[in-house]
Amino acid sequence: MIAVLIVAVFVTWVSLAIGGSSVEHAADDAMTAAAALAAAVCCFWAAKRHRAELRRFWVLMGCAMAAWSVGEIVWGFYEVVLGQTVPALSLADVGYLGAVPLAAAALLFYPSESASGSPRVRALLDGLIVAGSVLLVSWVLVLKSVVHASGASPLATSVQLAYPLGDAVIVALVVIALARTPTSARRSLGWVLTGLAAMAVADSGFVYLTAVGGYATGDLIDTGWLVAYLAIALGALHAVLNRACSVSAPVESQGSLRRSMLVYAPSVAALVLAAATIVRGGVIDRVLWMTVLGTVVLVIARQVLAVAENATLTATVEAKVIARTDELRHQALHDALTGLPNRSLIMDRIEQLLARGRRTDTRGAALYLDLDGFKTVNDSLGHAQGDRLLQAVAIRLASGLRDADTLGRMGGDEFVILLDGDELVTTVELIAQRLIEVLHQPFEINGVPLAITASIGIATGDRASAGDLLRDADVALYEAKALGKNRYACYQPEMQDAIHDRLACLPTDLPPPDHGYGRCRSALALAPLHSWRDRSESLHTAVGRQRRHHRRGPLGAHGSLPAGPGVARPGQPAECLGERLGPSTRQRQHHRRCSARPR
Q: Quote the percentage of the chain above a pLDDT of 70.
A: 71
Catalytic (active-site) positions = 413
For residues 235 and 515, the model is more confident at 235
Question: Does the pLDDT value for residue 428 go beyond 50?
Answer: yes
Q: What residue ranges do the domains of the chain occupy? A: 22-244+257-279+286-312, 343-504, 524-589
pLDDT in tens, 434-456: 999 999 999 988 888 888 999 99
Confidence band for 282, pLDDT divided at 50, 70 and 90: low
Confidence (pLDDT) at 597: 44
Confidence (pLDDT) at 457: 96
Which residues, 6 or more positions from 354, have their beta carbon under 8 angstroms from its beta carbon?
364, 462, 463, 465, 466, 469
Question: Does the pLDDT value for residue 402 go beyond 70?
Answer: yes
Question: Does the pLDDT value for residue 468 go beyond 80?
Answer: yes
Class of domain 22-244+257-279+286-312: mainly alpha
Question: Does the pLDDT value for residue 379 go beyond 70?
Answer: yes
pLDDT in tens, 68-92: 899 889 888 888 888 777 777 788 8
For residues 389 and 144, the model is more confident at 389
For residues 289 and 530, the model is more confident at 289
Least confident of 327-336, 391-400, 493-502: 493-502
Mean predicted lDDT score pLDDT of the chain: 76
pTM of the model: 0.50
Confidence (pLDDT) at 577: 32
- How far CA 198 is from CA of 137, 139, 171, 263, in Å, comes to 15, 18, 10, 17
The letter for the amino acid at 41 is V
For residues 500 and 190, the model is more confident at 190
- Angle between the N-to-C axes of helices 466-482 and 493-504, in degrees from 0 to 180, rounded to the nearest 10: 70
Burial class of residue 188 in the structure, from the number of CB atoms within 10 Å of its CB (0-12 exposed, 13-18 middle, 19+ buried): buried
Confidence (pLDDT) at 406: 93
DSSP per position, 298-360: HHHHHHHHHHHHHHHHHHHHHHHHHHHHHHHHHHHHB-TTT--B-HHHHHHHHHHHHHHHHHH
Q: Which CATH superfamily is domain 343-504 in?
A: Reverse transcriptase/Diguanylate cyclase domain (3.30.70.270)
Most confident region among 93-107, 337-351, 582-596 by mean pLDDT: 337-351
CB 249 within 8 A of CB 180: no
pLDDT in tens, 203-230: 877 777 776 677 777 777 888 888 888 9
Q: Can you say how many angstroms the Cα of residue 421 is from the centroid of all Cα atoms in its chain?
A: 45
- Average pLDDT value for residue range 189-211: 79
